Chain A
């Protein structure tokens, strides 16, 4: 059961934050409010009157609008088409494109969203795409706006801009409900807070009367925000050196424009950046999944120095590079295979798992029996299809496999995405352990907190370029955030920096 007799209240003209860890039931709750899911029990009261939603249409009719975390936008359609879809103006048969453009344009102006109705959504940056979502709900006359983790894909600056918009909307009488797990945002923007844990409401607080520590206590039932204990790095020589690497994205544009850095043995090198700035391509280039169009990548392991740009994934893996992919269900695991079969994915053609092309089931099972308890994979059954495991356990399978190969270079891409606190902790501990064992660890993550907590050195990537490399401890979140947007001092954005003090105090 995802939600267990949840009740919450939101007030007009106010911003309510709904917080909870991953899996606490926030999204399910919001899906019920927006009509996409049906509550088994309980009521939804609007202005005191009970309502029932059988579909998103009903919720929309009740002036509730949901701005989804994963955008519900048609990439190949224009802004105008996306906004009016389903409620096309003056278009009984023929689609009145002109009218749509006009209405979307004026609405965008009214709320200061600055969108061009004719732009194709797939060509817009993420921050603007989100605004198209907002425009969608405004177009339908929503009075209650629900935001699901809106800052997950935004830089700190873009987030601040969003908060301005939210404050504006609230001031115009809209009710805002805002799901997040980032406490800084809660403190910065909300008037009230509702805390969910494991599907139940555990607290309804007034923001001005509470603080992050108290909220955390409600969220995880524990006093202290856990953090990883890390000793100072024991640095060895450079394991991988990236020199002026360029590569292209899937659509033929340049994804990396001359990137250079190196990672040494015994350190965690973190790459921070908002998703979509070339991190994915960087990792792909390092693991052989994408060709390099210029520059070199030098790998130094086992006494050998090898250039690995444009080599096959198999060759690179055999040179001692391990890779925890950012999308375990898509890339890291074959969901239909058993846990045991997944634990040898990538090394299935090596002894002792196979000999001259013929696989040896006994050794494969043995390997699984060894790794499962070591990594606390549950349920502890080697024959179970990997698809039945929870996200955390699936990630453990990936970790078990990569770690068991003792890589000299470990690349971890968004390793804790979608994991709950316990599983994330496990992953972090594992990464630090590997680093202490002398491996070079390259961590790529969109979670700035994670990068700052784990890394010995931090690099910021923006639009395919490295904007700067710093030793941990010498740089703060704001500086990093600024670099994540290009580092150009856009003065008017700093003027909107209303919340800067509040964020730092959190």
Chain B
């Protein structure tokens, strides 16, 4: 409800500022979907992890590492293994998902087995990821960067549907990158998984009241590991998207630039549900897309610096988390390590 009013607010203010024309650009909406994609993947993953009771701030780090390794593996696949572009890119995606899942496992291991403070572990992983990817990037690719012919995953045109010209829906919705479609699919699948499957029921029970779940014979630790690794895999896919989308892949230092944290905010704004996270991610993606569109254009009498406009998504996030949505409650046992030996 309040997300809707936020949309109205943003839309209304921009209309009154006289850039209604900007909103009618299909490019704006295409970019919105494209920008929301990695956010959605990470946010849905985060939702699953936190529903099981494990706080996951490390999505930024997992995405970053995944992005790097997607580029690296795609590169190796193209050169050392001799695979053609589509296969190399797929190999890159696989590499990304595997790496991110490994990192997620590390986070899970520290938090579940050793009761590490989950926020600290998450931050540590973010720092580690930044250091590791920067180090490997500069050591392996030096000042030239990733190869310019690195395999990528180009957008697809869905036959027939992409020709719809009403509101330019065809070009907006049906000419996207395949990973974008995967992202939306993941939202639906995650919702079904969490709320309509047995495993999902058990995962939620673990996040609400691990002792009760334990008493019911459920393996709390194992489910938490599963949830965290799943979140890693999804973040990994998001990272692969960042590096490999487009006709050619590209990795630059710190390519994620805080997206993992925005995804985190989206999860909270979405009240720990997959569809809620999706809505929030679309909102934030819109903010980013708008920023790009508007940068450099004139607004009244003065130009908008790209830096000012860059701030927009972050400011929107702050407002969303701090203001409009009121307090949203996490799963009851979120963030608390579960110790079976604690006397009942």
Contact = CB atoms under 8 A, between A and B. Distances in A.
Contacts of A36: 214-215, 340, 344
Contacts of B208: 74-77
Given A36-B340, A74-B209, A74-B212, A55 B217 contact: yes
Given A74-B205, A74-B208, A86 B213 contact: yes
A94 interface: yes
Contacts of A93: 197-199
Nearest to A31: B344
A72 B211 contact: yes
Contacts, number: 77
B198 A66 contact: no
Given A31-B344, A56-B215, A85 B205 contact: yes
B197 A95 contact: yes
A91 B201 CA distance: 11
A73 interface: yes
A86 B202 contact: yes
A72 B212 contact: yes
Interface string B177-205: 00000000000000000001111111011
Interface string A67-87: 010111111110001100111
Contact of B215 (A66, A77, A81, A92): A66
Given A31-B344, A36-B340, A74-B208, A56 B216 contact: yes
Contacts of A66: 215
B1 interface: no
B19 interface: no
Contacts of A81: 201
A72 B217 CA distance: 12
8 contacts: A36-B340, A56-B217, A68-B215, A74-B204, A77-B208, A85-B205, A87-B216, A93-B198
B201 A73 contact: no
A28 interface: yes
A72 B210 CA distance: 9
Interface string A28-57: 100100101100000000000000000111
A60 interface: yes
Contacts of B218: 85-86
Interface of chain A, main secondary structure: loop
B343 interface: yes
Nearest to A34: B215
Nearest to A30: B344
A312 to B, nearest CB: 22
B217 A60 contact: yes
B215 A95 contact: no
A88 interface: yes
A88 B213 CA distance: 13
Contacts of A87: 216-217
A503 B191 CA distance: 53
B332 interface: yes
Contact of B216 (A70, A86, A95): A86
B209 A72 contact: yes
Contacts of B344: 27, 31, 36, 68, 70
Contacts of B341: 37
